[in-house]
Structure 1
Amino acid sequence: MPNPAYDRLPEHVKDDIERLYEQIWTKPRKAIPGLLEWIEKYPDVPTLYNYLTAAYSQSGQRKKTREVIEKNYQRNPDYLFARLNYANLCIRDGDYGKVGEIFEHKFDLKLLYPQRKRFHVTEVAGFMSTTGTYFFYAGKRESAEKCYELLEQIERNYPESGKTIEAQVTQLRWRLYPKTLWQRFMVWLSSRNQSAQGSDMQPS
């Protein structure tokens, strides 16, 4: 995704940020202080908040993860990954109406960002995963299945994309096509909890 604020950073800063990003997946707690320092110095770079979200999440700090997700969306509401993280938060809270607002009721990247002609594979996969999950809990199974089919295509066509997309495919498959009784029970329980937490879904 075009990120002018990040692109303008000095090369040595970008190198250190990428080093911290790699550290997120092995020693997330050690990456956090460095990310906080760069955010203090460059508060207008949305990528930094996204990386900090991942670091807090990987280290099991749920409250701080939520706080950073909310802050990033408040500061950078047009940044796709800020939208996706906040939408996933709202889905977990059962606030489906808010999900529609986050995406301006445009569940198509080309409609959401008409000025762009190309999207990175991680952007498309993240969008399909989040909107597919939203459609599933909103009772729009056909739309959820279309998102799942696109995710599967991405996984097949971009095997180098790593475990993130594989996990997104697995999670949506698990919801749509539970095989075991335990999986079916968990999907039912999750859907029941989602409905209890928020039934104010607005039409998309």
Structure 2
Amino acid sequence: MAKKSKAAKFVKPESKLESVQIVEYEITSEPIRERWYKSLPKQVKDAIDRLHDESQRRPHKAIPELIELIKKYPNIPMLYNYLSVAYSGTGEQSKAEEIIRENYQRNPDYLFARLNYAELCRAAGDYEQIAEIFEYKFDLKLLYPQRKRFHVSEVANYMGLIGMYYLGTGEQAAAKKYYEILKEVAPGYPMTKRLGRKLHPSFFRRILNRIAGQVQTESS
């Protein structure tokens, strides 16, 4: 079921937060299929849907099939995304990063190609490159003006990473704004929790200490 949600639109990321405008777009938990997906043979569609889960649960098994599919369909960006996930799952991080970079080079407009590459840049502390990846447009509707609907996973991962960007560049007020929106639209998503831990480390540490204390008490 789709739902309306408000998303914050900020001024250029390199400037201090001066004003906030509110834009609306539709957020859905239903799959959003690209136009090219509809033209694929049914067996390829079935394989893509299956490999979404298999790349996470059985990465060793998924990798050979993903490599072969990419050879046949080199312009399907999600296949690279699944392959990078599978490589990460087998501990082959260098290969995962190589695929992430290749996906971004081949498919620079694909949101998850941008997000994965931006995460590599964030880990390296290259915040200026992150801004360039998103064309200095820190709202989904600005980045993809032709779209009216976004999947909740797109919103959660995008806003979470942008929140991390603002936190890393010293604009904590902007990061908090993104976190507040995320708590409303995607409270259970890992990226929401991750941004919250970064913003409130002492709070989460107290919770972990409390849980650890309870476990120790029960075992003694």
TM exceeding 0.5:
yes
1:72-95 CA-to-partner distances (Å, cap 9, x unmatched) read 000000111101111111000111
Residue number among 171, 179, 187 corresponding to 1:140 in the alignment = 171
Residue number among 110, 114, 121 corresponding to 1:90 in the alignment = 121
Structure 1 gaps, min length 5: 160-164, 184-204
Residue 45 (structure 1) aligned with residue 45 (structure 2): no
Give the equivalent residue in structure 2 for 1:201: none
Residue number among 56, 66, 87 corresponding to 1:25 in the alignment = 56
Moved more, 19-28 or 97-106: 19-28
Give the equivalent residue in structure 1 for 2:201: 178
TM-score by length of structure 1 reads 0.80
- The one-letter code matched in structure 2 to 1:39 is I
Residue 111 (structure 1) aligned with residue 142 (structure 2): yes
- The one-letter code matched in structure 1 to 2:186 is E
Residue 70 (structure 1) aligned with residue 69 (structure 2): no
The structure 1 segments of at least 4 consecutive aligned residues displaced by more than 4 Å after TM superposition are 180-183
Q: Among the aligned pairs, what percent are the same residue? A: 51
The 8 Å contact of residues 159 and 178 in structure 2, kept in 1 or not, is answered as: yes
Superposition CA RMSD, Å: 1.8
The 8 Å contact of residues 5 and 44 in structure 1, kept in 2 or not, is answered as: no
Give the equivalent residue in structure 2 for 1:194: none
Larger Rg: 2
Aligned length: 175
Deviation at 1:2, TM superposition (A): 5.2
Residue number among 169, 181, 184 corresponding to 2:192 in the alignment = 169
Give the equivalent residue in structure 1 for 2:162: 131
Deviation at 1:5, TM superposition (A): 3.0
In 2, Cα distance between equivalents of 1:16 and 1:110: 31
Structure 2 gaps, min length 5: 1-31, 207-220
Deviation at 1:180, TM superposition (A): 6.5
Deviation at 1:27, TM superposition (A): 1.2
